[in-house]
């Protein structure tokens, strides 16, 4: 995800038909690797593990599965291979030495490289078998908002159609809607135009075309949406009121007739 108005978006390049075919093939393969890795990560995480232990496992798995660690390509050095955001951390969480506890909320956000292209996905879970019912409901609603946003994707649809669908679900669920971090285009660069906010008006914004690839990533919270970057690591984004944050994401291809979710597991 990118912070709206702070990180410049890279302009989209016009690809030839051959380049577009290459892009789609690489992103399909990379997306499948990513989806399967995150599925396995969900099963791997247990109470008592530290963020750094999980990060080391993810790094090894990325390489083992034939992909590359995308966060190593950032101009600003990120201290890990995956973002791990715990409890009041919303996004960009730097892996830490503190062990995860039963009932903790944790969000995992991962970008990998494959064949010269990137794919991006995220999910939020509760560690162990116990957890707050409110947090469980927040995760359920946020995941639902992601799929409602994805359902709007097709050639000719506007970015505002996606944001409006996401926002409607989150507000109906009485969740805070994060506005200063947004989704984005993705291909040879991790972050390209267009921005994909989690709010908007139908019929407004960039109009999607066949072959576009975008990362749709609803972010919500149980309290007020105001947030800040933790000065201790200069990465982790935390909720100002100490409430719990949530983040879900898929990379989506605009097809001739609609969409294809590239980052689903087998």
Domains and CATH numbers, the chain: 2-261 (3.90.230.10)
Q: Which two tokens stand for residue 92?
A: 């960009």
User: How big is the CA angle at 170 (ends 169 and 176), to the nearest 5 degrees?
Assistant: 165
In the chain, DSSP finds a helix count (H) and a strand count (E) of: 4, 16
Per-residue pLDDT band for 8 (boundaries 50, 70, 90) equals very low
Instruction: Return the DSSP state at 71.
Output: G
The pLDDT of residue 7 is 42
232 pLDDT above the threshold of 50: yes
The pLDDT of residue 129 is 87
pLDDT tens sequence across 173-203: 999 999 999 999 999 999 999 999 999 999 9
Q: What span, in angstroms and rounded, lies between the C-alpha atoms of 1 and 181?
A: 6
Our measurement of the distance from residue 2's CA atom to the centroid of its chain's CA atoms, rounded to an integer in Å, reads 10
Task: Classify burial at 75, counting beta carbons within 10 Å of its beta carbon; exposed 0-12, middle 13-18, buried 19 or more.
Answer: exposed
End-to-end Cα distance, the chain: 24
Phi, psi of 29 (to 5 degrees): -65, -45
Cβ contacts of 46 within 8 Å, gap of 6 or more: 100, 127, 128
12 pLDDT above the threshold of 80: no
pLDDT tens sequence across 29-61: 999 999 999 999 999 999 999 999 999 999 999
Q: State what percent of residues in the chain have pLDDT above 90.
A: 91
5 pLDDT above the threshold of 60: no
The pLDDT of residue 16 is 86
CA distances to 33, 37, 85, 141, 225 from 238, in Å: 29, 26, 9, 20, 10
Q: Which two tokens stand for residue 203?
A: 């019929």
pLDDT tens sequence across 144-156: 999 999 999 999 9
């Amino acid at each position: 995800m990118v912070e709206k108005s702070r990180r410049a978006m890279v302009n989209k390049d016009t690809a030839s038909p051959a380049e577009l075919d290459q892009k789609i093939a690489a992103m399909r393969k990379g997306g499948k690797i990513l989806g399967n890795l995150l599925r396995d990560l969900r099963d791997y995480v247990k109470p008592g593990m530290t963020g750094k232990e999980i990060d080391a496992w993810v790094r090894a798995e990325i390489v083992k599965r034939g992909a590359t660690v995308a966060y190593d390509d950032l101009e600003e050095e990120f201290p890990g291979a995956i973002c791990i955001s715990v409890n009041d951390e919303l996004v960009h969480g730097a892996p830490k030495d503190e062990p995860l506890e039963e009932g903790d909320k944790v969000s995992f956000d991962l970008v990998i490289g494959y064949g010269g292209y990137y794919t991006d996905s995220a999910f939020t879970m509760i560690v162990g078998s116990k957890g707050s019912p409110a947090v469980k409901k927040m995760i359920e609603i946020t995941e639902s908002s992601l799929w409602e946003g994805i359902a709007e994707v097709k050639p000719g649809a506007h970015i505002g159609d996606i944001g409006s669908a996401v926002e409607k679900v989150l507000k109906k669920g009485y969740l805070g809607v994060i506005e200063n971090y947004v989704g984005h285009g993705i291909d040879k660069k991790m972050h390209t135009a267009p921005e994909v906010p989690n709010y908007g008006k139908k019929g407004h914004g960039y109009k999607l075309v066949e072959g576009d690839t975008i990362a749709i990533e609803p972010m919500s919270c149980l309290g007020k949406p105001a947030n800040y970057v933790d000065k201790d690591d200069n990465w982790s984004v935390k909720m100002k009121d100490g409430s719990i944050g949530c983040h879900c994401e898929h990379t989506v291809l605009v097809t001739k007739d609609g969409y294809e979710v590239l980052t689903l597991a087998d």
